[in-house]
Amino acid sequence: MAGHSKWANIKHKKAATDAKRAKSWSKVSKAIMVAAKNGGSDLDTNIRLRTLVADARSVSMPKDNIERAIKKGAGQLETIAFEEFVYEGYGPNGVAIMCDILTDNRNRTAPEVKKIFEKGGGKLGASGCVSYLFDRKGLFLISSDAVGEEQLMEVSLESGADDISMQGENFEVTCSSESYSDVSQSLEEAGIECISKQVTRIPQNTVDLDVNMARQVLKLMESLDDHDDVQSVSANFNISDEAMAELANE
CATH of 83-128+205-236, one of 3.30.70.380, 1.10.274.10, 3.30.70.980, 3.20.20.10: 3.30.70.980
* Residue ranges, CATH 1.10.10.200, the chain: 3-73
Distance CA 154, CA 143 (A): 16
pTM: 0.81
Query: What does the pLDDT look like over 24-48, one tens digit per residue?
Result: 888 889 999 999 998 999 988 888 8
CATH 1.10.10.200, domain 3-73, yes or no: yes
Q: What pLDDT does residue 135 have?
A: 92
Share of the chain above pLDDT 70, in %: 91
Query: What does the pLDDT look like over 155-183, one tens digit per residue?
Result: 999 999 999 988 878 899 999 988 988 89
For the chain, give the secondary structure using H, E and C: CEHHHHHHHHHHHHCCCHHHHHHHHHHHHHHHHHHHHHHCCCCCCCHHHHHHHHHHHHCCCCHHHHHHHHHHHCCCCCCCCCEEEEEEEECHHHCEEEEEEEECCHHHHHHHHHHHHHHCCCEECCCCCCHHHEEEEEEEEEECCCCCHHHHHHHHHHCCEEEEEEECCEEEEEEEHHHHHHHHHHHHHCCCCCCEEEEEEEECCCEEECHHHHHHHHHHHHHHHHCCCEEEEEECEEECHHHHHHHHCC
Fold of 133-203: Alpha-Beta Plaits (3.30.70)
Query: What does the pLDDT look like over 217-250, one tens digit per residue?
Result: 989 998 999 899 999 899 999 887 777 777 777 6
Mean pLDDT of 132-161: 92
Distance CA 56, CA 31 (A): 10
- Indicate the average pLDDT of the chain: 87
Mean pLDDT of 4-9: 60
Distance CA 153, CA 235 (A): 27
Q: What pLDDT does residue 128 have?
A: 94
Q: What pLDDT does residue 98 have?
A: 95
* Residue ranges, CATH 3.30.70.980, the chain: 83-128+205-236, 133-203
Distance CA 126, CA 123 (A): 10
Q: What is each CA distance from 129 to 88, 97, 115, 191, 202, in whole angstroms?
A: 7, 10, 18, 41, 16
Q: What pLDDT does residue 198 have?
A: 82
CA 46 from centroid of its chain's CA atoms: 20
Query: What does the pLDDT look like over 196-209, one tens digit per residue?
Result: 888 888 899 999 98
Taking the CA of residue 44 as centre, how many other CA atoms within 13 Å lie in the half-sphere pointing to its CB? 0
More confident residue, 78 or 174: 174
Q: What pLDDT does residue 19 have?
A: 59
Residue 95, pLDDT > 70, answer yes
Q: What pLDDT does residue 200 have?
A: 86
Q: What pLDDT does residue 190 have?
A: 93
Q: What pLDDT does residue 1 have?
A: 42
pLDDT band at 187 (very low <50, low <70, confident <90, very high): very high
Q: What pLDDT does residue 58 have?
A: 77
Residue 68, pLDDT > 50, answer yes
Distance CA 179, CA 151 (A): 19
Contacts of 115 (CB under 8 A, 6+ apart): none
Residue 12, pLDDT > 80, answer no
